Each structure stands twice: as structure tokens, then as C-alpha cells.
Amino acid sequence: VFHWADATRFGEAGSHDCVVTNPPFHAGRRADPALGRAFIAAAARLLTPSGRLYLVANRHLPYERDLRAAFAEVEEIGGDGGFKVIAAARPRPARGRGRR
């Protein structure tokens, strides 16, 4: 099933096996990597314990630390000089949310 929605406000926790995203990183004309970080947190919340995230991002965006905090497995699986494709698996339980 394909959903086009705001990932930060979408779905029930632990309800998806896979999330594929190319998160926005601009708020208007201003670059704001916090938008991508919010998508990473939302993906970790939405995924089942064995779920996987596939993320495409501009190479310069600093998402790896957030990915490692939210997922037990993180690997760059593709890309080029301008973009990176990252696979992340086994979302970590969010502290204080009582998830799973």
C-alpha cells in the first residue's frame, strides 16, 4: 500500500513493515535538516520491530547519527556524489513513549 502523507502525523505505532522516504529538508527557502530528523523518528515509530526504512537524502545532510539512535542497523546501500540511499532496520523503542 502506498501512502502520501505527513509522516510525522501519520499512522499507528508499529503498524508498518516498510517506510520509503525522501524527506524534505527545506522550510520555505531555508534549509532545515530537523524536518528529515522528524521523518526518521516518525519512521522508527511507525515500523514493526522487524521493519525497514529506506531513505534517500542529499549527501550533505547529517542524518546518520539520528538513524543510528533510532535503528539497530544502518547501512548506506547506494548513492552518488550528490545523494545517498540508506537502509535502516530494527527500530529501537522510543524512550518514554511506551512503544512495543
Is this model's pTM higher than 0.85 or not? no
32 occurs within a structural domain? yes
- State the residue for C-alpha cell 527557502: 29
pLDDT in tens, 27-36: 677 777 788 8
pLDDT band at residue 1 using 50, 70 and 90 as cut-offs? low
pLDDT in tens, 8-43: 666 677 788 999 998 877 667 777 778 889 999 999
For the domain that residue 80 is a member of, what is the CATH number?
A: 3.40.50.150
74 occurs within a structural domain? yes
Cell for 88? 535502516
80 occurs within a structural domain? yes
10 occurs within a structural domain? no
Residue 43 sits in which domain range? Answer: 15-91
Domain count for the chain, please give it: 1
98 occurs within a structural domain? no
2 occurs within a structural domain? no
Largest CA distance in the chain: 40
